[in-house]
Structures are given as C-alpha cells and as structure tokens.
Structure 1
Amino acid sequence: MKSMKKLSLFALLAAMMVVMAACGGGASTDKSKDSSKGADTSKPAQKELSGSLVISGSTAMQPLVAAAAEEFMGKNPKVDIQVNAGGSGTGLSQVAQGAVQIGNSDVFAEEKQGIPADQLVDHKVAVVGMTAAVNPKVGIKDIKKADLIKVFTGQITNWKDLGGPDQKIVLVNRPDSSGTRAVFNKFALDGAKPAEGVTEDASNTVKKIINETPGAIGYLAFSYLNDNTVTPLAIDGVAPTAENVQTGKFPVWAYEHSYTKGQPTDLEKAFLDFLMSSDVQNNIVKKQGYLPVTDMKVERDPQGNVKKK
C-alpha cells in the first residue's frame, strides 16, 4: 500500500510539473509577443528602394523636381532619377504613352486635347505663380490687365503708349505645348490668342532673351524671378507675390501636377510622398519659389473656377 501511495503521489507531482511547464511556456510566449509589439520589431524592415525613374514635362516645375530628386537620391543611393523638361504637353503625352514614369504639368490633364486623362492619376505637389516679365530698361513695373491683353495681341506695339520709352515691344512666347503658356493665356489674357513673336521652349531661355532684348516682354513662373535680370509686372496694382496667390488676389497661378499612368508603383509613390513631405514642402518648395499646396487659402478646379477652401 505504501508503495502504491508513493507511486500515486509521484504521478500527481509529475502531472503538476507538466501543467506548470505548459503554463510557464505560454506565459513566456505571451511576454515575448508583448515585448516584440512594444518594440515594433514585429513590423518588417523597410525595403531598400532601388531602380530608376524618368520624369518629363513642365519647365516651370523642373527646378523643383530636380532639387527634390537630388535630395531623394542622396537618401536612397540605389535610386536614379532623371528629370527632363519639354513642356506640360510633352510630359502628359509621354506618361500616357508609358515612355516616362511621371509626367509634370502646369495644367490639368483634362485641359490638354488628346490626353487620356481618365488613364492618369493626378498628384498635386505644389502651386506656381506666373506673371509677365519685361526687360529692366522698359521701366514699367505695373500694367493694367486690359493693356496686357492689348500688348500680347498686338494692339499696343510701343512702350511709349504705356508710359515707357519710345521702343518697339518684342513679344516672347512659349510653344503651344507649354503649360506656362496655357496658364498665362487663360488667367492673364482671359483666353485671348497672343500675336506672333519670338517662341522659345524653355523658361530659362525665355528669361535670357527678355534680359538681352531691348523692349522684350514674356512670362515666367515666380521660381524664375529670383534676380534682377528681368522685371516682373504687377497686374492691376496687385503684386505677383506668394501671399497674393495664396489668398486668390493675384489671378495667374496653377497647380503643379505630377501625373502617373494608373496608381504609382512603390518607387513612384515613395518619390511622390517625398515631394509632399513637410521637409520638402517647407524647404525645397519655398526656396525654389513655389508655394506649398497646404498654404493655399483658395482652390481651383479644371474649369478654372476658384473658391475658398
């Protein structure tokens, strides 16, 4: 009997030890999960970005996107980004054709004839202000909108008619594919068709021609008005400033769009998210002469209608 009791007691103790071990193992596992969750180690490590992007389009956007691309590549050494200009029409056409990964545009895709806007995804990354700019020796800093229209449509051909020198007006235009031209025509010229003049594809070249040509007038994004080589014009007494664009007082502005064909790939999305980061919006965007989208107090639809946010 004593032997049987000892065996029963031994079996009971053994069973209790098994149960305790099982409980202890479960507690240990739970504790491990809690610790892992607290340290966020359960999340997979962020995948290292690699690959290449070709971006084309708006010359007004080129300085911004190129500066952001350089910083992005510095943070992601296995990524290569090539930023080309060519105009908004070119960017939209090329991204729609799949020739580039991102197409930059100063205008909505819906505004460009022949662009399959329904196939493209719009990413508004900044706002750009634009205004007319003249050769500094013209001596004019403000112009009425009605007179600006007459200048660009060829109804006024000499600066003396606007209080300037007795000098022929030389028009410097952008090509039809230019988003800058589309925005300027729509909001500065009320849709009037400009007269024939010098036509140049790139904003940098337009700026150089205005500076070097007596009596010249053209139009540029604020981002190119960063020195005294050309004189930007106020319109109807309203100065071309960021604040006046943000509040809707200055009428000549547009969103800077980066379009993808369909939803962006991981690399495209990473770069677009970087463009929208507070670091880029508050530093690169402003330093390059653009306006952060988040600073706008008004918004504009593809038809050009403006309303308060």
Structure 2
Amino acid sequence: MRTLQSLFVSFAVVLLMSSICFGSDLDLFSDQHGTLRIAGGTAHIPVMKEITKRIMTRYPDVRISVAGGGSGVGIQQVGEGMVEIGNAGRAATDDEIARFGLVPFKWAIDGVGAIVHPDNGVKALTRTQLQAVFSGTITNWQQLGGVDRTINLYTRDQASGTRKVFWSKALNKGDISMAANVVNSNGAMKTAIANDPYGIGYVSVGHMDASTAPITLDGVTPTLETVRNGSYGVARGLYSLTKGQPQGLTKAFIDYLFSGEGQQIAADKGFIPVR
C-alpha cells in the first residue's frame, strides 16, 4: 500500500514539474491586468471569444470586450483610439495605415463562399451565373435548373470586409442588386439563409456548417482544404490591427494569436493558421 501511495506522489510531482517546465502560452498574461477593447470584422469573433474566455478564466484581473461592426468599423475605431485592437477581413489601405498609424497583423487565412438553404436543389454555379444572380439579371431559381421561385438575395453592408472580398473576387467587382437584403454579420447571414429556402448569400468559410449549403463555384466547393491548396480563390487574410506598435495587454493578446495555442484555436474555428 505504501508503495502505491509513493507512486501516486511521484506521479503528481512529475505532473507539477511538467506544468512548471512547459507552462502555457497563456503565461503571456501572467503580469497583465486592465481592460482590452476589440471590435470590427465579424468573421474573427469565434476566435476572439474563445481566446477571451481562456484569458479571463485564468486571469480575472484582465477584462476583454469583443464587438463586431465589420472591417471598416474595426479600422476606424482602432484608428480613432476607441478600441485597442481593430479586426478586419481585408488588408488596410495605404491611406488608412498612413492616416491612423496602423500596424496590421495577419494571423489566419479565410475563404468566402456563396451559400443557400440545404433544401435548395441548386448547389453549383458558374462565376458568370453567380454574377448574374447578384446583379439581379437572373431572378428565378428556375433559370438555374431549380424550382419556379423568386431568388431572395442577401448581402452585407458596405463596411464589411467579407463583402469586399466576395464582390471583388467572386463577382469580379460586378453590381450587387439594390433589392438585396442587407445583414450585418456572418452569423446573421447564416441565420437568414438557414431560414429562407429560396435565399442566397455569402459567408466566411470558417462560419459554414450544416445549417446552410455551400455553392460550388466553377467546379470547386469552398472548404478549408480548397482554400488552403489554392484551388478555391475567393480568399483573404484575417487581420488584427493596432494604432502603433502594441504594448502591454494589447501586445500579449497579439502575441497569443500567433502562439501555438492561438493558431490552434484559429484552426479549430475553421481558418488556416499562418504558422
């Protein structure tokens, strides 16, 4: 019995020493406290919330708020000092970087794809057909081999980085019909399409799940693998930006995004890590 107890004690000591020796990437926050404000791109939110939960669970003296609003909002708010980190699903322009003194950090790669309701019989389009749908030239699913129903278009607002990438790379900067319903986040888009059998919209590949069905574009379905290997070209970087070089709590958060744990969280949420 004494031998068994000794084994248990030895095992506990080994575990303790391992945790001391190897630690965790969360140790970046061991000497941090205060408040960190984050806002902007909605594709980023699942990663931001998971990281925030882990940090605040371990370090209750650190308070982090995460808000959406779109890439344009993220860039503007961090530039104007309203938040410490602004998220964007597009690269900041040279003018934005110069005007606000921004420093961008690209920590993942994401795709953007068109989606429909799972019961929709049309799940493959050519780029020309997709452009005609979003411009309002094609208005009925029957024109695409589907049922005789009006196509309900959904798009994002002008501040959205997801919209900019889809518009420039999937639609070749073609028109988006003024009749399209405007939603304000990837989550809202997914919910709208999941509840509209005749709707079509677009979301970050990282937000795709069984509640909607992806549209195969020119023979290639938007997935994590097709974005990674480059066969699906409607892709973009996910950025977190700071005003000047980050310091203190802000720097710890940026460093964690690029750590092993941070990059694994990005992968777990459906994005392609940069490291």
Give distance in 1, aligned partners of 2:113 and 2:91: 19
Give distance in 2, aligned partners of 1:211 and 1:143: 19
Partner of 2:203: 220
Please give the residue correspondences for 1:65-214 in structure 2 after superposition, counting only pairs within 5 Å.
Answer: 65-110=48-93, 116=98, 119-196=101-178, 197-214=180-197
- The answer on whether the counterparts of 2:96 and 2:102 sit within 8 Å (CA) in structure 1 is no
Give distance in 1, aligned partners of 2:98 and 2:199: 37
CA RMSD of aligned residues (A): 1.7
Match of 2:272 among 291, 294, 306: 291
Amino acid in structure 2 at the alignment position of 1:184: F
Partner of 1:53: 36
Give distance in 2, aligned partners of 1:217 and 1:203: 13
| Aligned partner of residue 99 in structure 1, secondary structure | coil
TM-superposed deviation, 1:117: 5.5
- The answer on whether the counterparts of 2:79 and 2:100 sit within 8 Å (CA) in structure 1 is no
* Structure 1: stretches of 5+ with no match in the other structure: 1-45, 295-309
Give distance in 2, aligned partners of 1:76 and 1:270: 13
How high is the TM-score relative to the length of structure 2? 0.85
Amino acid in structure 2 at the alignment position of 1:195: S
- The answer on whether the counterparts of 2:116 and 2:197 sit within 8 Å (CA) in structure 1 is no
Structure 1 window deviating more from structure 2 (171-180 vs 203-212): it is 203-212
Give distance in 2, aligned partners of 1:118 and 1:246: 32
Give distance in 2, aligned partners of 1:124 and 1:73: 24
- The answer on whether the counterparts of 1:72 and 1:271 sit within 8 Å (CA) in structure 2 is no
| Aligned partner of residue 223 in structure 1, secondary structure | helix
Deviations 1:214-269 (A, max 9, x none): 3100001112212x221111111112121211121101111100000000012111
Deviations 1:149-197 (A, max 9, x none): 1110111111111111111101001000111100110111011121121
Amino acid in structure 2 at the alignment position of 1:66: K
Give distance in 1, aligned partners of 2:97 and 2:214: 32
Give distance in 1, aligned partners of 2:237 and 2:200: 24
| Aligned partner of residue 84 in structure 1, secondary structure | strand
Match of 2:221 among 217, 225, 239: 239
Give distance in 2, aligned partners of 1:278 and 1:141: 36
| Aligned partner of residue 172 in structure 1, secondary structure | strand
Structure ID, larger Rg: 1
Q: Greater RCO between the two (CA within 8 Å, min separation 6)?
A: 2
Residues 1:276 and 2:258 are matched in the alignment = yes
Deviations 1:255-309 (A, max 9, x none): 1000000000121111111111112212x11221111113xxxxxxxxxxxxxxx
- The answer on whether the counterparts of 2:30 and 2:59 sit within 8 Å (CA) in structure 1 is no
TM-superposed deviation, 1:114: 6.0
| Aligned partner of residue 248 in structure 1, secondary structure | coil
Deviations 1:133-160 (A, max 9, x none): 0122221222111111111011111111
* Structure 2: stretches of 5+ with no match in the other structure: 1-28
Please give the residue correspondences for 1:30-45 in structure 2 after superposition, counting only pairs within 5 Å.
Answer: none
Amino acid in structure 1 at the alignment position of 2:263: Q
TM-superposed deviation, 1:104: 0.1
TM-superposed deviation, 1:95: 0.3
Give distance in 1, aligned partners of 2:110 and 2:234: 9
- The answer on whether the counterparts of 2:109 and 2:272 sit within 8 Å (CA) in structure 1 is yes
Deviations 1:45-74 (A, max 9, x none): x96111110000001111111111111223
TM-superposed deviation, 1:76: 2.6
- The answer on whether the counterparts of 2:113 and 2:222 sit within 8 Å (CA) in structure 1 is yes
